[in-house]
């Protein structure tokens, strides 16, 4: 189903073509003020300049050619030459029917050009807990994948976990010493303790590495052993990976993020491809030695000393770096995964790294037609406006942050609705708490930093998850209370009545879901989705207050039930399918 704005745009374009012979894209936007109608075209103003014509007269000419009476009332010219358009109730009613019968997509169209899109996001580090710094990549990446899939693209999720690096030399060495006996037996059955143990090992190992030269030497040998595939070392390494995975996979589940073990393609996956990357670049004459390191110098990048900036792919000690891994991964995604587009979801601070990565890959001729996109986001700040940290200055653990949100949500449920059964209260607290954290993140502009505040995100009013979930619960409550068989009701519906202003406003918002989706996916901006859903929730609440549903006249009751049903469907679809936030039927 085409969004109304798109149909209108096409009609405007045709009218301009007929009126002026110009072939230009339509400039159609939602009206800036509801008193101007629903949509407006600003083409006459733009064209008038170009054609040196009077904008109002040009608008008249366009309107004379405009065939739109199946959608809108008579167009009006206002101001300097705006063309204002008002949707006809019959058109809205017709769209409403189509949207409600489009059960899975609710009017959202599939792309006519499906592509294979690789999305690289989340990327937790092995041997460490996920912290607040992983939140945005994980949930924004997830939302991007969900949008792309709904649009009909083939999405390949890639969780580029940090499972291979010099730190594993000291960590394995540390474990080796600690578990000497088991290690020597080569039949290790020790399962590592919880993630906190491993983090503790990590701390101790780093300490020793710094202060104990003997240990540091051994660690270097161990990293070489690990890299050369020593089975015992690999076994210990694998244990660390497995244990860390036992930590983050449940977190993804808790967050409602679609990432599984099958989506993992960590740094270690590329370990055998790194030398090849360097050799290829050397062969092409792109990689050269500089101060002992092997570097590529893409054009346009400078260091602080105004010298060309290197993209270092091999350190002077021979080791490879993340730049090397990223190049190998990029090549793999193009050649093996057949990506038409690769999307990297990381914070804005890595912008330059990705610019250089893309530049080098292009210089090497590896990219062909693949579109490379770096989707950035801002930082999560504390109430003091500085990056969110614990009082002792550490990164806030993601698990603790989510647990706290759930705990606070639980307290609210307890207070507002103490009579609910305990397990339901717990379920509500989970949905509301986690939903609040995610929704707060999504509703901020992706590219800006935002201040993390439990109080704000858990507020009952305003653009928050609890408010959205509450509105959903209220709709559900109508159906429950009225014992409504919605399928039967909708089947029997003959005519849709939208006479009350609140009904018409709600109906118009309902048929704009696909429009909101299109603008959200165009720039991967989840806040466009939350803004739409919030506006929908507000319009529903206004309708709810103004228009009784169950007690409505027999004639108009089915129409109102349809509005309720579609509101519930869209809120649920938006929250659950696109944002991965749970809805609850009562709270």
Residue 451, interface with RNA (CB under 7 A)? yes
Residue 45, interface with RNA (CB under 7 A)? yes
CB of 463 to RNA, least distance (A): 6
Selected range binding RNA among 188-196, 453-461, 491-499, 571-579, rule: CB under 7 A = 453-461
Selected range binding RNA among 3-11, 205-213, 228-236, 470-478, rule: CB under 7 A = 470-478
Residue 177, interface with RNA (CB under 7 A)? no
Residue 585, interface with RNA (CB under 7 A)? yes
CB atoms within 10 A of CB 13: 19
Q: Which of residues 258-317 bind RNA (CB under 7 A)?
A: 267, 290-293, 295, 302-304, 306-307, 309-310, 312, 315-316
Contact partners, residue 382, CB within 8 Å, separation at least 6: 388, 389, 451, 452
Nearer to RNA among residue 154 and residue 282 (C-beta): 282
Site string for RNA, 13-32 (x = CB under 7 A): --------------x-x-xx
Residue 507, interface with RNA (CB under 7 A)? no
CB of 167 to RNA, least distance (A): 8
- Total residues contacting RNA by CB under 7 A comes to 100
Q: Which of residues 562-581 bind RNA (CB under 7 A)?
A: none
Is residue 469 a contact partner of residue 461, using CB atoms and an 8 Å limit? no
Nearer to RNA among residue 91 and residue 322 (C-beta): 322
Nearer to RNA among residue 338 and residue 480 (C-beta): 480
Please state, in angstroms and rounded to a whole number, the distance separating the CA atoms of residues 32 and 47: 20
Residue 159, interface with RNA (CB under 7 A)? no
Residue 133 DSSP code: G
CB atoms within 10 A of CB 241: 20
Residue 542, interface with RNA (CB under 7 A)? yes
Please state, in angstroms and rounded to a whole number, the distance separating the CA atoms of residues 476 and 474: 5
Token digits of residue 343: 């999307």
Nearer to RNA among residue 3 and residue 310 (C-beta): 310
Please state, in angstroms and rounded to a whole number, the distance separating the CA atoms of residues 81 and 403: 55
Q: Which of 212, 477, 485, 499 binds RNA (CB under 7 A)?
A: 477
Each as own residue / partner, the long-range contacts of residues 110-115 (CB below 8 Å, 24 or more positions apart, any chain) are 110/151, 110/152, 111/151, 111/152, 111/153, 114/152, 114/153, 114/154, 115/153, 115/154, 115/340, 115/341
Residue 553, interface with RNA (CB under 7 A)? no
Site string for RNA, 379-408 (x = CB under 7 A): x-x---x-x---------------------
Is residue 436 a contact partner of residue 465, using CB atoms and an 8 Å limit? yes
Nearer to RNA among residue 105 and residue 346 (C-beta): 346
CB of 302 to RNA, least distance (A): 5
Is residue 463 a contact partner of residue 443, using CB atoms and an 8 Å limit? yes
Q: Which residues pair with 374 in a beta bridge?
A: 344
What backbone torsions phi and psi does residue 485 show, to the nearest 5 degrees? Answer: -95, 95
């Amino acid at each position: 189903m085409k969004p109304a704005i798109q149909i209108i745009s096409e009609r405007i374009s045709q009218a301009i073509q007929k009126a002026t012979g110009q072939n230009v894209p339509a400039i159609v936007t939602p009206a800036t003020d509801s008193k101007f109608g629903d949509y407006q075209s600003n083409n006459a103003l733009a064209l008038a300049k170009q054609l040196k014509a009077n904008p109002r007269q040009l608008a008249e000419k366009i309107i004379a050619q405009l065939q739109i009476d199946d959608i809108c009332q008579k167009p009006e010219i206002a101001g300097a030459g705006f063309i204002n358009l008002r949707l006809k109730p019959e058109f809205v009613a017709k769209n409403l029917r189509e949207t409600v019968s489009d059960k899975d997509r609710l009017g959202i169209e599939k792309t006519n050009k499906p592509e294979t899109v690789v999305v690289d996001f989340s990327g937790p580090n092995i041997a460490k807990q996920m912290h607040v710094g992983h939140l945005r990549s994980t949930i924004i990446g997830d939302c991007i994948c969900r949008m792309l899939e709904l649009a009909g693209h083939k999405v390949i999720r890639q969780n580029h976990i940090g499972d291979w690096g010099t730190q594993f030399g000291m960590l394995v060495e540390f474990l080796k010493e600690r578990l000497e006996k088991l290690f020597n037996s080569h039949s290790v059955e020790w399962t590592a303790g919880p993630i906190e143990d491993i983090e503790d090992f990590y701390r101790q190992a780093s300490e020793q590495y710094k202060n104990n030269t003997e240990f540091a030497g051994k660690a270097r040998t161990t990293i070489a052993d690990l890299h050369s595939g020593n089975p015992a070392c690999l076994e210990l390494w694998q244990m660390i990976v497995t244990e860390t995975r036992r930590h983050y996979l449940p977190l993804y589940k808790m967050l409602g993020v679609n990432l599984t073990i099958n989506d993992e393609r960590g740094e270690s996956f590329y370990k055998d491809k790194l030398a090849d990357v360097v050799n290829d670049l050397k062969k092409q004459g792109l990689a050269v030695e500089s101060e002992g390191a092997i570097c590529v110098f893409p054009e346009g990048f400078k260091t602080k000393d105004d010298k060309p900036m290197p993209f270092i792919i091999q350190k002077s000690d021979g080791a490879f770096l993340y730049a090397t891994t990223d190049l190998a991964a990029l090549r793999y995604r193009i050649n093996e995964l057949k990506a038409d587009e690769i999307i990297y979801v990381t914070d804005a601070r890595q912008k330059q790294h990705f610019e250089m990565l893309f530049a080098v890959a292009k210089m090497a001729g590896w990219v062909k037609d693949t579109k490379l996109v770096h989707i950035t986001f801002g930082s999560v700040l504390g109430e003091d406006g500085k990056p969110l940290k614990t009082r002792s200055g550490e990164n806030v653990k993601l698990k603790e942050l989510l647990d706290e949100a759930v705990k606070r949500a639980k307290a609210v449920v307890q207070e507002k609705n103490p009579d609910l059964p305990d397990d339901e209260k717990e379920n509500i607290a989970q949905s509301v708490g986690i939903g609040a954290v995610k929704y707060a993140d999504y509703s901020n502009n992706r590219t800006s930093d935002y201040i993390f505040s439990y109080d704000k995100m858990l507020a009952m009013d305003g653009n928050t998850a609890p408010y959205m979930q509450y509105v959903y619960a209220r709709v559900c409550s109508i159906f429950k209370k009225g014992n409504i068989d919605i399928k039967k009701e909708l089947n029997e519906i003959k005519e849709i009545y939208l006479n009350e202003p609140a009904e018409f406003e709600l109906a118009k918002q309902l048929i704009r879901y696909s429009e909101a989706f299109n603008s959200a996916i165009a720039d991967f901006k989840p806040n466009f989705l939350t803004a739409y859903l919030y506006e929908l929730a507000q319009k529903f609440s206004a309708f709810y207050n103004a228009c009784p549903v169950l007690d409505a006249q027999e004639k108009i009751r089915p129409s109102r039930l349809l509005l309720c049903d579609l509101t519930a469907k869209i809120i649920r679809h938006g929250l659950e399918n696109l944002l991965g936030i749970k809805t609850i039927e009562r709270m």
